[in-house]
A = this chain, B = another copy of it.
Amino acid sequence: MPVYQATVSAPVNIACIKYWGKRDTKLILPTNSSLSVTLDQDHLRSTTTSRADASFKQDQLWLNGKVDEIKEGGRLATCISEMKRLRREFEEKNPNEPKVSRVLVPAIMHAHLLQISSFHVHISSVNNFPTAAGLASSAAGFAALVSSLAALYNLPATPSELSLISRQGSGSACRSLFGGFVAWQMGEKADGSDSYAVEVAPREHWPDIHALICVVSDTKKGTSSTSGMQRTVETSPLLQHRIKHVVPERMKAISKAILEKDFDTFARITMQDSNQFHAVALDTDPPIFYMNDVSRSIIALITEYNRASVESGGKIKAAYTYDAGPNAVIYAPKENIKEIVELIYSYFPQTEPFKDPFGLFGAAGPKGKVVDGFNAAVAKPFEAGAVKGLIHTRVGDGPRKLGAEEALLNAEGLPTVLA
């Protein structure tokens, strides 16, 4: 029996212009466009194997080896059924074409190949980073899910077309269908057919953009972004102004900055938009807070780091941005990352050694150090563990098809990784 299976990995993305608010909660259509940087899968990724088989009794999905229920009418069910629909349409249009990836299918075609859209699927998905890190794992997860089904089904769909479906799993997942710098165009149509992701520039255009993720401890359970953003839509008077007047301008300006590799403008808009997203969260009733005192201190450090540079005739060196949680993501040109790590170390002593994927530090690792002109009094140093980890990565590529040796389902169609 042939095995109809594909394995794909997909990246995390972190927005510079934030998505916050839906105009349609079922189709996941946003109230404003957004723009993100795709991070390198060498460091952070979600990997998914999908298999279709006539013997499967039902669609099943495992996340990190644990069953994740596919609820009827839920987001997982929507993505899977939409991908089956695309496969069905493909089968109907191409009755004589091979229907699954040549790599995975024996040269001899089987009659039931025509019907794999009607098979149940088994899907096994693994994140290589802790879900608890609050790193928008759902974006990478749904992008990998949709991409692995597209590969399994040998669909000719473009990333933008697939993004229409991953969007219905998790809005920001549509942006993980591309590498580099990616815009999610909000669209206008009620059916969502014009609300998809497009590439602003590939990673190769500006590979110098690196990212440092500061994983911040928080004892408080935050408001989920799904419920939080709808409360903002319903209650924040300021959100409407942001949607109508602020975001459209910023989308144009930051796209231009990316095309011109103008880090100064890119950084200013990124920080302003992070702050405005948290401002409209605070303008919500009751208010929503995602940043804590540690997050605020990281903002103070980066603000001072930039001030010291600009006032001595230099440029903006780094940009912070915060999603719906206390973690900071700091974007900076590669040449500044070493200084930034040392700056973070001086205020947030680390308990774990720094994984140094780009070899910036010797065996001794980073030390706490501030740069010339930096006013060390802008923030008080925290106890060790307030920032519980630093991850250094960079702008990355889009979903990757992986070989059979990386499959996450075993011969029986069960996950190779167990929780």
Contact = CB atoms under 8 A, between A and B. Distances in A.
B285 A237 contact: no
A77 to B, nearest CB: 31
Interface in A269-303: 271-272, 275-276, 278-280, 282-287, 289, 292-293, 296, 299-300, 303
A189 interface: no
Interface in A32-57: none
Nearest to A292: B293
A14 to B, nearest CB: 18
A96 interface: no
Contact of A282 (B219, B242, B282, B300): B282
A284 B271 CA distance: 10
Interface in A225-245: 237-238, 240-242, 245
Interface string A236-278: 0110111001100000000000000000000010011001101
Nearest to A268: B285
A220 B283 contact: no
A409 B313 CA distance: 53
Given A275-B285, A275-B287, A279-B279, A380 B219 contact: yes
A282 to B, nearest CB: 4
Contacts of A275: 282-285, 287
A294 to B, nearest CB: 9
Assembly stoichiometry (copies): 2
B289 A282 contact: no
B276 A283 contact: yes
Nearest to A276: B283
Contacts of A289: 296, 299
A220 B272 contact: no
A18 to B, nearest CB: 13
How big is the A interface, by class? 20 to 34
A379 interface: yes
Nearest to A300: B220
A276 B220 contact: no
Contacts of A284: 275
A303 B283 contact: no
Contacts of A240: 241
Q: Which of A219, A272, A283, A303 gathers most chain B CB within 10 Å?
A: A283
B380 A276 contact: no
Contacts of A279: 238, 279-280, 282-283
A247 to B, nearest CB: 10
B293 A282 contact: no
B286 A303 contact: yes
Contact of A242 (B238, B272, B380): B238
A289 B293 CA distance: 10
Contacts of A296: 289, 292
Interface string A60-88: 00000000000000000000000000000
A238 B280 CA distance: 9
Given A237-B241, A238-B279, A276-B283, 9 more contacts: A220-B379, A237-B276, A240-B241, A271-B285, A272-B285, A275-B282, A275-B283, A275-B287, A289-B296
13 contacts: A237-B241, A237-B242, A237-B246, A238-B238, A238-B283, A268-B285, A272-B285, A275-B284, A279-B279, A279-B283, A287-B299, A289-B296, A292-B296
Q: Closest 6 CB pairs between A and B?
A: A241-B241, A279-B279, A279-B283, A279-B282, A286-B303, A275-B287
